[in-house]
Structure 1
């Protein structure tokens, strides 16, 4: 049997939980092993292929068998050498849905900035310690015209991009955006300047939260449902940063350090928000924060992780203030409550709702 594809490598795996249990192939080097004997089984029986390439010298990818070529849905390349101009070949699969590039060495070459338009990829993930120039990288991403989910984990290094270069890119709409990099303080902000996110944002960055105010004020972000932000700096520039996010249902926030600004100041005092889940880590909580939570009539989950409570009045934690609450959770190894506060919470909430995970609960 001829191999359906050619690679410059000995580390190629094609795997899939196929619709039929006997259809499970493994390719290692040039050997094909069938885990279940079947008299008749050929490549035309394969559907929804996932392909994983590991430690390859990637120059081109070519499939002799057009059926396989047309049925690749997920392609992942990791720990490989990829010529920058070879990225264009990844956009040619007509039915590819997910593309993942992990820990690769992207080799610089004479850059061809023209990429074929791809209409099939809906999910792109990039993880690594090195990437091409941000402008060229954006051109590659922007060629995926139906992209819905974008995830970038960037371990170190800095990229700069002038505002004039950002203006070259029209904002495109995606559903999910994830960016993780504690070293590069600008890239996450830049990327949010060229995308509008409809539903979920996850951001881990050492940038200042206030730098995102212009992005969150843009109408393309007003329907966001969920935000998870960590390792970020929060100061006075972040006041009202979430003002425009009236449909926000879930927020998880962890600043890089204890800062004087309080949670409620991140929202507009003149608006009612529809928060259902609030998870705060390492923040100082004051009475006005609890009053703000109580205004969210649909609040179901309220979690405080390593938070400090400054002169909290018990009455604001009354069940009548948080009537739809299904989980009230306190997690801490350093903070403690007064015994009176602890007793009050236990009187107000059943054990199904109230949960403590602390070294010492009260003093």
Structure 2
């Protein structure tokens, strides 16, 4: 069994996918072809923002937005302790300091109470200026943006939504990608909307930010290719990946998003009395990047994973180590404790999941999950 069946997805989309890729190769417009602009317009409209700027990957997207806001040395940026390393890494890359915040045990997303506690700790020390909050829409579920935005506003901070796992999710009538002052996403193949390589995008309603982001994505370009008005990067989504994403995006909105929610409901129906299953709060809609359960302890997790492996069923642990325990951050000041994150790192694991799984597949998996 595939953990996320991208092979099956390709077989379903093969005719349209092959045609789209061959068209790019026939036209030989591999960089900044028309498909890139078409994708940006479609994604901006879907999310409900004015601008979508595509780029090389989701990590670049985060870094570029921090650059646009002038984040650097002496600034504090608050990120969840329980997430992938890139969200903290980009802060350090810009010369700022990541401050790790605990998460909610039900949703896995940034805990607003812990966030405010961390902000107050930083302010009390007086060495760093709190500037940005980066909530992560983990496993497909948007974070608690009403509370996070209110806290950020009260302390004069911006909110950068990391929607790499949350694209397609909804929070109180608004789509992921529109929930902060700006947002980013990733098109890594296993993401809810993924390409066949790396890719990313930034969402903003600010015209000046959009102009700046488009410039730094192409070597600080000004009015034409050889007019360089600032120091920039080379971070572009290539045309083949854009063509792939256009095909996948149609499938995503036509049936995939609905199907992953159906598969999640099958899991929850069977597992809710066996283990702690994911929680989707009222007013939210998840795009289900992963289906992640919680068990009692690490020993129980190891035993269950082994039972599933013996039956040819793969599992994954997202994430086995808190951000603040990564070797790269061994010398970084930890302003607050993150006990929920520490517990989750020992007790969560993710089951095979995608919209192409059948009900009997899910029941076969669940029958092995006996604790």
Query: Greater relative contact order (Cα 8 A, min sep 6): structure 1 or 2?
Result: 2
Whether the TM-score (by the shorter chain) exceeds 0.5 is no
TM range, normalised to the smaller chain?
Answer: under 0.3
Q: Taking structure 2 as the reference length, what is the TM-score of the superposition? A: 0.24
Rg (Cα) greater in structure: 1
Structure with a larger share of its residues in helix: 2
Q: Taking structure 1 as the reference length, what is the TM-score of the superposition? A: 0.24
Structure with a larger share of its residues in strand: 1
